[in-house]
Amino acid sequence: MIQTIDLRGRRLSPAELLSIVPRSHTDISVATDAATALIDDVRARGEQAILDQAERFDGVRPDHVRVRASEIADAVAQLEPAVRDALEEAIDRVRAGSAAQVPAPSVTMLGDGAEVVQRWSPVARVGLYVPGGKAVYPSSVVMNVVPAQVAGVRSVALASPPQRAFGGAIHPTILGAAGLLGIDEIYAMGGAGAIGAFAYGVPGLLDPVQVITGPGNVYVAAAKRLVRGQAGIDSEAGPTEILVIADGTADARLVASDLISQAEHDELAAGVLVTDSADLADRVQIELGRLVPLTHHRERVQISLTGVQSAVVLVDDLAAAADFSNAYGPEHLEIQTADPKAMLSSILNAGAIFLGDHSPVSLGDYLAGSNHVLPTGGQARFSSGLGAYTFLRPQQVVSYDRAALQRVREQVVALSGAEDLPAHGDAVTARFTHN
């Protein structure tokens, strides 16, 4: 079912590994022109453009873009009890996990009367995007909103595409999740136009934001790239991916189940197994052949796992498995080996790491307490997932008294002269002379 890449007997450099990692042929740049046009349309025509784009892309024209408070309250009241209970538990767990991401202020004393305070200041306003498409994502509401709230963001706006099945309204489960979190500024808008609306604002409808987060399709990713600089973004999220490092002790049925769990997201989702056990590789292939026809989204899963982005990778040992994983930089990394924790010191690049048989990625998608908005497409090699820190800016607060400044006065003057910026030194000297 799934292709095999055999690297046994080969010692490859990081660059060589990077060149052979399986990837989908998703190129955000191909959507740039279309995303630019949609953003420009929103900037020029405002709310009318948003409504026209909804009719064009979502197949429905909402009665109103901003969701009314009564609609949010109704959605909360109509949540199924089991779903509401699960959402409330997820909120509590993600809130606890996010709280650990807020650094405490610190003070560095550089001498008497000379201090630098490190503080973390939240942005004032954020725009959070929750996609529509093939599934409903109330969990993404939790994962976006809770870290912003924990960081201390005061103004939170949320957008999600209008749904034809609900007469142009946002999916009620998404509304209900937002209502549970106290979000009352919600917009029925989607795609690149929504990202443009967040970045530049829409007169009479919404004010611009400072940071935009949340996953979406290739047009959303392209739009986020385009507005970066006007507003901060979390990442350019692409199709989901899972990489499993496993040895001969792993349960093939569980490995196959975890690959399938992520493949059901999208036909472009990636499932990769890296193992030093040819026997395990064979057993996983057998389990996939047995389980894929039984799963609900079997056609989608089949396309995903037989695509160029998915593979079973055979390596000589677990050290080589770690090297391959680090070159890949997976969004989700599972380690199912005899001693998973022992491998952590070898792992450098991953959005989130799941250790052992009982820590599947599905747990992280909902209730682990970690965040499921993670870097994809190899971006974990240089960026991190969404967290409270996404909405925080480190600021250094400098406080020197006269004596402390006097002690470094000559050094400041010397350096300003060396850089041919004498007014810098003069600004210090002026504090000790009188005209």
Query: Among 5-19, 24-38, 342-356, 410-424, which stretch is predicted with the lowest mean pLDDT?
Result: 24-38
Homologous superfamily of 3-26+238-369 in CATH?
Nitrogenase molybdenum iron protein domain (3.40.50.1980)
Q: What is the pLDDT of residue 435?
A: 65
Q: What is the pLDDT of residue 434?
A: 80
pLDDT at 148 > cutoff 80: yes
264 is in an annotated binding site: no
Give pLDDT tens digits for 220-230. 999 999 999 99
Contacts (Cβ under 8 Å, ≥6 apart) of 260: 271, 288, 291, 292, 295, 301, 305
3-state secondary structure of 122: strand
pLDDT at 197 > cutoff 80: yes
Q: What is the pLDDT of residue 376?
A: 92
Q: Would the CATH topology of 3-26+238-369 be identical to that of 28-77+121-236?
A: yes
Domain formed by 28-77+121-236, architecture: 3-Layer(aba) Sandwich (3.40)
Q: Read out DSSP for 155-179?
A: EEEEEE--BGGGTTBPPHHHHHHHH
What is the Cα–Cα distance from 53 to 187, expressed in whole angstroms?
A: 14
419 is in an annotated binding site: yes
Query: Which residue in this structure is represented by tokens 């607060």?
Result: 397
424 is in an annotated binding site: yes
240 is in an annotated binding site: yes
Q: Which of 331, 372, 410, 434 is catalytic?
A: 331
25 a catalytic residue: no
For residue 417, what are its two tokens? 């002269």
What is the Cα–Cα distance from 190 to 174, expressed in whole angstroms?
A: 14
* CB 329, CB 379: distance < 8 Å: yes
Question: Average pLDDT for residues 146-151, to the nearest whole number?
Answer: 98
372 is in an annotated binding site: no
Question: Average pLDDT for residues 29-39, to the nearest whole number?
Answer: 93
262 is in an annotated binding site: yes
What is the Cα–Cα distance from 166 to 60, expressed in whole angstroms?
A: 9
Band the pLDDT of 3: cuts 50, 70, 90: very high
For residue 49, what are its two tokens? 């453009």
List the beta bridge partners of residue 35: none
* CB 180, CB 88: distance < 8 Å: yes
For 336-391, give the secondary structure using H, E and C.
ECCCHHHHHHHCCCCCEEEECCCCCHHHHHHCCCCCCCCCCCCHHHCCCCCCHHHH
Q: What is the pLDDT of residue 426?
A: 97
For residue 301, what are its two tokens? 């899963």
Question: Average pLDDT for residues 355-365, to the nearest whole number?
Answer: 97
Question: Average pLDDT for residues 110-127, to the nearest whole number?
Answer: 97
Q: Which of 264, 332, 334, 372 is catalytic?
A: 332
Q: What is the pLDDT of residue 217?
A: 87
* CB 218, CB 248: distance < 8 Å: no
* CB 252, CB 291: distance < 8 Å: no
What is the Cα–Cα distance from 101 to 222, expressed in whole angstroms?
A: 28
User: Where is 127: in which H helix or E strand?
Assistant: strand 125-129
299 is in an annotated binding site: no
Give pLDDT tens digits for 311-357. 999 999 999 999 999 999 999 999 999 999 999 999 999 999 999 99
Average pLDDT, the chain: 95
Give pLDDT tens digits for 319-331. 999 999 999 999 9
> Which residue type does 412 have?
V
Using CA atoms in the order 366, 367, 370, 376, what is the torsion angle rounded to 10 degrees? -20
pLDDT at 277 > cutoff 90: yes
296 a catalytic residue: no
Strands of the sheet with 392-400, listed across from one edge = 106-111, 114-122, 392-400
pLDDT at 11 > cutoff 90: no
Give pLDDT tens digits for 53-81. 999 999 999 999 999 999 999 999 999 99
Q: What is the pLDDT of residue 403?
A: 97
What is the Cα–Cα distance from 71 to 150, expressed in whole angstroms?
A: 26
Count of beta carbons in the 10 Å neighbourhood of residue 179: 23
Domain boundaries defined on the chain: 3-26+238-369, 28-77+121-236, 401-431
Distances (CA, A) of 28 to 137, 307, 309, 332: 22, 19, 16, 21
Give pLDDT tens digits for 121-135. 999 999 999 998 777
For residue 214, what are its two tokens? 């949340």
pLDDT at 305 > cutoff 70: yes
